[in-house]
């Protein structure tokens, strides 16, 4: 989980930033990186502590890089979606022991739209 969710973002930025810096020097046009974090890094995630830690790392990486590269024409931000219908969420629903509707209702208790997001 750390390798994909945190180090994946790190390695992507490691290669994106130098290219964007070169573009900014050559054209004067900046660039933008949007990282995907999670609502779990803002409030914690019971039974998903490693996931929450990885996504919290994405926030720290994003904030630090945003400050470091702002004067070099780069905007670096993160979005923090709530639960999204992925294999991880489906696994949670299956192993919760509750009917699917109840498990999803529990996941979306604090979500204004009262639903999980869909990947597409």
Helices 100-107 and 87-95: angle between axes, nearest 10 degrees:
120
Query: Catalytic site residue 51?
Result: yes
In angstroms, what CA-CA distances link 118 with 37, 57, 81, 92? 16, 24, 11, 16
Q: Which of 10, 51, 115, 117 is catalytic?
A: 51
Catalytic residue list:
51
């Amino acid at each position: 989980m750390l390798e994909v969710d945190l180090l994946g973002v790190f390695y992507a930025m490691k290669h994106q930033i130098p290219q964007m810096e070169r573009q900014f020097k050559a054209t004067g046009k900046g660039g933008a990186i949007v990282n995907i974090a999670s609502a779990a890094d803002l409030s914690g995630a019971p039974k998903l502590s490693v996931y929450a830690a990885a996504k919290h790392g994405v926030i720290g990486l994003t904030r630090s890089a945003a400050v470091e590269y702002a004067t070099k024409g780069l905007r670096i931000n993160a979005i923090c979606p709530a639960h999204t219908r992925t294999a991880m969420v489906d696994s949670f629903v299956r192993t919760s022991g509750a009917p699917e509707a109840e498990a999803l209702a529990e996941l979306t208790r604090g979500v204004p739209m009262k639903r999980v997001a869909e990947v597409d």
